[in-house]
Chains A and B, each alone.
Chain A
Amino acid sequence: MTTIAPNRVRSSAGRLWREYGWAYLFILAPVLLFLVFTLYPVVSALIMSFQQYNIMNSTWIGFDNYERLFQDATFWKSMRNTVIFTVCTVPVNIIITFVLSYLIYQMKTKWQTFFKATLYLPAVASGVTISIVWLAIFDPTNVGLLNRFLEWFGLDPVIWLGQSKTALFSLILMNWLGSHGAGIILYLASMGGVPKSLYEAADIDHASGWTKFTRITWPLLKPTTLYLLVTGVITSFQVFISVYMMTQGGPNFATTTIAYLIYQTAFQFYEFGLASAQSFVLAFLIILVSVIQFKYFSSDVEY
């Protein structure tokens, strides 16, 4: 039998420090980083959005910045561009990712590994590099890869990024053909997690290949699809690098997205108060859309 010695009573602060001192010390570092680099800028931006910001002397102007941006035609145009970009890219990307994953999943392990690595590769490259490659592809002369392609079919070259009616579509096309690697990895992991016995049971239950796909595979991958949908929408609402690198929001604001507008307002026109207001409208929009997605698409599958 073991006996427990009575604790010596010391000051509770001292005891807490002895027991948890190191733990608090380790937690302190990330907490400080969060406070300095996340919470402080967010709170400052929120305050700034109600100010006529000046580095020396800011003045409180209430909701003026918000009123201004809602009356600004460029803001609405950028909002429209962002929504079009999101609606056109996210669902198509999910379908492309899903189909590619489904095809890869049928392959032998070594081919699966090969395709996973190959398709993930663009995710490792920086957005700037990818944009430069796509600038070459969209080159308006017949040196451009895409125009060369059109030339084979006897079509005239297109000024992809230089005219309003094709510029946004070009960015969307680039996004469709961009990186699906991360999504593929997630889908493949989810597909591997669906018990094989479900498909065997379905085989015995007279399910056709299509029924198995629609009634088993697709519903069971819903949590992954929801994740990709939410993160995809957030990412595309914040699309910036390709716009900055390839079109600078032009021509005639045809590719100005909210994120690019915020950049322009803040760092080209130095209207930090207005840019902060734009940022908070964007954040609110993203939260709203995410909540709606969770509400309508969330699933409680457990297996």
Chain B
Amino acid sequence: MARVEFRNVRKQFDDQNKQTFTAVAGSDFVINDKEFVVFVGPSGCGKTTSLRMIAGLEQQTSGDIVIGERIVNNLHPKDRDIAMVFQDYALYPHMTIRENLSFGLKNLKKPKAYIEQKVQEAASILGLDDMLERKPRELSGGQRQRVALGRAIVRDPQVFLFDEPLSNLDAKLRIQMRVELGELHKRLGATIVYVTHDQVEAMTLGERIVVMNKGVIQQVASPTELYANPRNMFVAGFIGSPAMNFIDARVEEERIRIDGAEFVLSQDAAEGLKSYNGREIILGIRPEHIYGEDFAPGVSTEHQMQAHIKVVEHLGSENLVYFRIGSRTVTAKVHPETKAYSNLSKQFIFDLNKARYFDPATEERIDW
């Protein structure tokens, strides 16, 4: 297995009108040996392009890509010692599953016995033993997905690349395969680079997550770090479901004013926001850090404000309550025993110790 490094890697495309479009704008990161790293971001953010550049299916415009100890900029995909699982699986439709699994090894001119052993190993890991003589069209989506994984496993590559491999599966199967992928990573101890637009997939699978937007890396961190300390409003809004609430606020001495209500800041926060005194800021608070005043066990009731409930969604284990503060809709994820229904005016408690503050101009988190 090996590490992967991007050194100021840039990728530009020319569109039909000869306009230059920057897909990846100067990426720098290191993926450690045996690490499971997930690239996540909305469509067109440059995550798949980054993956394809590692694979050698796209040539970077500038910068260096390192796999192991080698700079692989000019190496053909086959010489990079990587294996890739494609979004559409890319199984050869006219070949049996056995032929699909052994295709790469045959091209490498490996001995027959070795190929057979590797195919059997992969088939038994992935539960494909009974399907080796079938064609891909005779398999279900989940089984095809496993064959695509198997094709990567038999090669024992230095790096596994996954391009949105679960996006064609239904929700239930996706969760099942997610668990299996996590187990597979532990079993193989492989370096895995995984691309997805699904932040839940990213959070559950990734040891570290690379969040991208418009070709720029926004933050590289562990799932818990990303969730707790997003670097900017994009990351804060993208990671977590329902998304973090952003509320317009104004710093006044050691207090912040939100839509008529006034909250006293903690000493740390007051100190940190000193330079913003008299200015607008954005308060970011996750839905689970807002409570109904009738069900907030162990939470300080210091920061409360009245709000008029618009809609309540009952999810069984929790309720999502929507109300407005100023021009923004705010979501609270409250305990199901919290009394909440449409058009009810209710006191909500804000746990400001868990809140984050953002500069409205730069959208960066205000640190202290």
CB neighbours (8 Å) of A299 from chain B are 94
Grouping DSSP codes into helix (H, G, I), strand (E, B) and loop, the A interface class, with mixed when no group exceeds half, is helix
Mask, A267-303, CB within 8 Å of B = 1, is 0000000000000000000000000000000011111
- Interface positions, chain B 326-361, Cβ under 8 Å from A, are none
A206 touching B104 in the complex, CB below 8 Å, given contacts A200-B57, A200-B86, A201-B84: yes
B107 at interface by CB-CB < 8 Å: yes
Q: Show 18 residue pairs from A and B whose CB-CB distance is below 8 angstroms, ordered by the A residue.
A: A197-B88, A198-B90, A200-B57, A200-B84, A200-B90, A201-B86, A201-B92, A201-B151, A203-B77, A204-B82, A205-B107, A205-B151, A205-B155, A207-B103, A215-B92, A219-B94, A300-B135, A303-B93
Cβ < 8 Å to B, chain A residues 214-272: 215-216, 219-220, 222
Chain A proximity mask over B288-332: 1 for CB below 8 Å, otherwise 0: 000000000000000000000000000000000000000000000
Cα distance A299–B137 in the bound complex, in angstroms: 13
In the complex, which residues of chain A have a beta carbon less than 8 angstroms from the beta carbon of B151?
201, 205
**Chain B residues within an 8 Å CB radius of A303:** 93
Q: How far is the CA of A64 from the CA of B134 in the complex (A)?
A: 53
Lowest 6 A-B CB distances belong to which pairs? A205-B104, A197-B90, A206-B107, A201-B90, A303-B93, A206-B78
Q: Which residues of A contact B55 (CB under 8 A)?
A: 200, 204
How far apart sit A216 and B93, CA to CA, in the bound complex (Å)?
9
B75-91 interface bits toward A, Cβ cutoff 8 Å, 1 = contact, 0 = none:
01110001110111010
* In the assembled complex, A192 has its CB within 8 A of some CB on chain B: no
**Which listed residue, B78, B84, B88, touches A195 by the CB 8 Å rule?**
B88
Q: Contact flags (1/0) for B49-86 with A, using CB distance below 8 Å?
A: 00000011100000000000000000011100011101
CB nearest to A205 among chain B residues: B104
Bound: A203/B92 CA distance, A: 13
Which residues of chain A are within 8 angstroms of B135 by Cβ–Cβ distance?
A: 300
Q: CA–CA, A174 to B82, complex, Å? A: 51
A211 within 8 A of partner (CB)? yes
Which residues of the other chain, A, contact B137 by a CB distance below 8 angstroms?
A: 300, 302
Flag B107-142 by CB within 8 Å of A: 1 or 0 each.
110000000000000000000000000010100000
Closest to A199 in B: B90
**CB closest chain-A residue, reference B83:** A204
Seed contacts A200-B77, A220-B94; 8 additional CB < 8 Å A-B pairs: A200-B57, A203-B78, A205-B104, A215-B92, A219-B94, A301-B94, A302-B93, A302-B137
Chain A residue numbers with a CB within 8 Å of B108 are 206
Are B78 and A205 neighbours in the complex by a CB distance under 8 Å?
yes
**Alpha-carbon distance between A300 and B138 when the two chains are bound, in angstroms:** 11
Which residue on chain B has the smallest CB distance to residue A299?
Answer: B94
> Given A200-B57, A203-B78, does the pair A211, B90 have CB atoms closer than 8 Å?
no
Binding site for B on A (CB under 8 A): 195, 197-198, 200-208, 211, 215-216, 219-220, 222, 299-303
**Chain B contact residues (Cβ within 8 angstroms of A): what range?**
20 to 34
Chain B residues positioned under 8 Å from A301 (CB to CB): 93-94
Please tell me if the beta carbons of B93 and A204 are within 8 angstroms of each other in the complex.
Answer: no
Let me know if B86 and A197 touch, CB within 8 A.
yes
For B52, the closest partner residue in chain A by CB is A200
Alpha-carbon separation in the docked complex, A112 to B104 (Å):
32
Query: Chain B residues near A216 (CB, 8 Å)?
Result: 92
Interface centre among B77, B83, B87, B94, by most A CB within 10 Å? B94
CB distance from A273 to the nearest CB of B (A): 49
Assess whether A204 is in contact with B94, with CB atoms less than 8 Å apart: no
Q: Point out the residues of chain A lying under 8 angstroms from B155, CB to CB.
A: 205
| Cα–Cα distance between A215 and B55 once the two chains are bound (Å) | 22
> With the chains together, A303 CA to B57 CA distance in Å?
21
| Nearest chain B CB to A98 CB, angstrom units | 17
Q: State whether A203 and B57 are in contact (beta carbons under 8 Å apart), knowing that A197-B86, A198-B92, A220-B94 are contacts in the complex.
A: yes
Residues of B within 8 A of A205 (CB): 78, 103-104, 107, 151, 155
Q: Considering only CB atoms, which chain B residue lies closest to A196 in the complex? A: B90
Identify the interface centre among B55, B84, B92: most chain A CB within 10 Å of its CB. B92
In the bound complex, CA of A201 to CA of B108 (Å): 14
Q: Chain A residues near B103: list those with CB within 8 A.
A: 202, 205, 207, 215
Q: In the assembled complex, how far is the CB of residue B56 from the closest CB belonging to chain A, in whole angstroms?
A: 8
A205 vs B83: C-alpha distance when bound (angstroms) = 8
The answer to whether B78 touches A204, judged by C-beta atoms less than 8 angstroms apart, is yes
A45 to chain B, nearest CB (A): 42
Q: How far is the CA of A219 from the CA of B100 in the complex (A)?
A: 14
